[in-house]
Chains A and B, each alone.
Chain A
Amino acid sequence: MPKLQDLAKKDSAFSSGHRMCAGCPVPIFTKMLTRVTDYDIVVGSATGCLEVASSIFPYSAWKVPWIHTAFENCSAMMSGVEAFDKVRRKKNNTEKKIKCVATGGDGGTYDIGIQSLSAAMERGHDLLYICYDNGAYMNTGIQRSGATPLGAATTTTPAGSVIGGKQQQRKDLTRIMIAHHIPYVAQASIHNPVDLSDKIKKGLEVDGPAFINILCPCIPGWRIAPDMAVESARQGVDTCYWPLYEVEQQKFKINYMPKEKLPVKDWLFTQGRFRHLKDDKWSQILVDFQARVDEQWDWLLARHAESE
């Protein structure tokens, strides 16, 4: 894999001057898209923070061909682009592929977009789908999503005196994507550029569908300081809330083993959205939260061991 120093010298797919919030880590991955590969790429975005903030008319932050339609159908739209590329190659008698990348936030991926995502993967399009998971509908004002963790306060799961934030656990979308038996599935974090760029390169260059789920802390949504996004993502990984792993042809590999698995509350209490959980009356939420993290981590360790 190329060194980060060399990657940084290459042209970025995403320019500065975009309108993401101060401290937002999402552009870390968009800048990598062209740096990790020599393929020409087309990017499609579902409605969301990245789409809105990178394309406010008459400006665009994208230096590659970029397309947006609606909220629920990014994978379907990019399936069309990828199918066109097949025809183009046949007509022009060339083998050189244009690689397709679809991006969506957790609302557009876990919730309203899961139908079109699942179908695109099942049909086997040569398409990399990247979900930047910040754990709620941040663009519209922090409403809960299927990715919002248990106990998080959002504007539609407010923490009050009777209900302590979101009452359900998040769904594990990465595992749902593994169940599609596609060539490449990975979970990555915005704080680890070496691991992240390796995964984006693999996902882009593999022949067939690929899915990467990236943990992207949200400054206003998580209620953290603007310089804390990278650090917060690192803590999320060290607690094993968000393990870094990849699955190639159903072979599991954990890419990062924390030296010491930190208790999840150490991470939660750094975020304003979990502030209410410091009150003892919500202690059961913390127990349940930790139990789910432990269960997922143990499951992953077992898969990793099986694959070795």
Chain B
Amino acid sequence: MSEAAIQAGCRFFAGYPITPQNEVPEYMSRRMPEVGGVFVQAESELAAISMIFGASATGTRCMTSSSSPGISLKQEGISYIAAGELPCVIANMQRGGPGLGNIRASQADYYQAVKGGGHGDYRLIVLAPATLPELYKLTQNAFDYADYYRIPVMILGDGILAQMAEPVELTPYKPILKIPKKDYILDGCQGREPRVIKTLMLNPTDALVTHNINMQKKHEKITADLQLVENYMTEDAEVVIAAYGMTARVAKGAIQIARDKGLKVGLIRPITVWPFPDKAMMEVAKTVRKFLVVEMSNGQFIDDVKLAIQCSKPVEFQGIGGGWYPSVEGILEKIEEIYK
């Protein structure tokens, strides 16, 4: 992920120590000076995200990473960055919570990531990779989405993804979007009017309302443009598992065994969890009998599945928060129980 960011032109990284994502800042501390970029280890998570606000305001591609308790500390800054419509990439390698929790993988920050997290009416584009090659690709794309829409993009991974090893081809960065000229950045105003980046808009009937309307229009455009999803054996499936990230990988193992046993099971895996792939979900709901949601949290992701299919089919659930991992056997057992 760190190398993908470097390849995509990220030249500013600010971070703070927290397990299980320390390898990201550690890599950046070595690599950034080699490419003429800047690595800063901040004195706190709030300082790190605020440095991102500053770096993004200069037009620099920038990134920070953390894990659940650290992401909670960053929420103030994330809300301000969203309000300032500044592009950046934020990685959250989730661990068990609430509180300091533990350092096992988790998906319990789902609500925080996709429903806002900080105060105010804002959204992040949230990408949920399941493999390291996908993490590499999505990290590069994340910088394009961020610049194109002027929005913070979150990469929502987990402790397993952060700590595992897997072969990855380090392909050069290719832009997937035509980035408009950054005409909002603070890069010296000689010869033109000075620009202002701020998030305080005191006039209640004009400035802030207009700003919110514009942001909501942007959110609508992103929802229409960007719904990434993987369908796996869903064409003839009677039961479809809905899962994202690492959980979906475990589910695939269970599905293969279920298929060998003659059970028609498939998987739908959102790659963007905001915007949520409503259309693809609804399409699957037309033909399937039941859904099974598997998540490493106690029923957060399931809400979006039910909303997406407008509760048109029964949705079964398997999930616990706090660092519980799904097993192939456990999912298979659940499939057999609900398949009848």
Residues of A in contact with B (beta carbons under 8 Å apart): 47, 68-72, 107, 111-112, 114, 137, 140-141, 143-144, 146, 155-158, 160, 162-163
- Give the contacting residue for A156; candidates B29, B44, B45, B100; CB below 8 A: B29
A140-B17, A143-B17 known; A156-B25 Cβ under 8 A: yes
List 10 additional contacts besides A141-B19, A143-B17, A156-B26; criterion CB under 8 Å.
Answer: A69-B99, A70-B69, A71-B69, A72-B73, A143-B26, A156-B29, A156-B41, A158-B26, A160-B30, A163-B33
| Interchain pairs with CB closer than 8 A, number | 51
CB of B318 closer than 8 Å to a CB of A: no
Tell whether, in the assembled complex, residue B22 and residue A143 are in contact, meaning their CB atoms are under 8 Å apart: yes
Within residues 180 to 203 of chain B, which ones have a CB less than 8 A from any CB in chain A?
Answer: none
Q: How far is the CB of A268 from chain B (nearest CB, A)?
A: 21
Within residues 11 to 33 of chain B, which ones have a CB less than 8 A from any CB in chain A?
Answer: 15-19, 22, 25-26, 29-30, 33
Residues of B in contact with A (beta carbons under 8 Å apart): 15-19, 22, 25-26, 29-30, 33, 39, 41, 43-45, 69, 73, 99-100
Per the bound structure, the CA–CA distance linking A132 and B45 in Å amounts to 22
Q: How far is the CB of A149 from chain B (nearest CB, A)?
A: 15
Per the bound structure, the CA–CA distance linking A69 and B69 in Å amounts to 11
- Give the contacting residue for B17; candidates A70, A107, A160; CB below 8 A: A107
26 CB contacts below 8 A, A to B, read: A47-B100, A68-B100, A69-B99, A70-B99, A70-B100, A72-B44, A112-B44, A137-B17, A140-B18, A140-B19, A141-B17, A141-B22, A143-B26, A144-B41, A146-B43, A155-B22, A155-B26, A156-B25, A156-B26, A156-B29, A156-B39, A157-B29, A158-B26, A158-B29, A158-B30, A162-B33
Per the bound structure, the CA–CA distance linking A305 and B47 in Å amounts to 40
Q: Residues of A contacting B73 with CB < 8 Å?
A: 72
Per the bound structure, the CA–CA distance linking A107 and B70 in Å amounts to 14
Tell whether, in the assembled complex, residue B44 and residue A111 are in contact, meaning their CB atoms are under 8 Å apart: yes
Per the bound structure, the CA–CA distance linking A160 and B100 in Å amounts to 34
A70-B69, A156-B25 known; A143-B30 Cβ under 8 A: no
Q: Residues of B contacting A114 with CB < 8 Å?
A: 43
With most chain B CB atoms within 10 A of its CB, the pick from A107, A141, A156, A157 is: A156
Per the bound structure, the CA–CA distance linking A156 and B43 in Å amounts to 13
Residue on A with the closest CB to B21?
A140
Per the bound structure, the CA–CA distance linking A114 and B46 in Å amounts to 13
Residue on A with the closest CB to B39?
A156
Q: Residues of A contacting B26 with CB < 8 Å?
A: 141, 143, 155-156, 158
Residue on B with the closest CB to A136?
B17
Q: Residues of B contacting A163 with CB < 8 Å?
A: 33
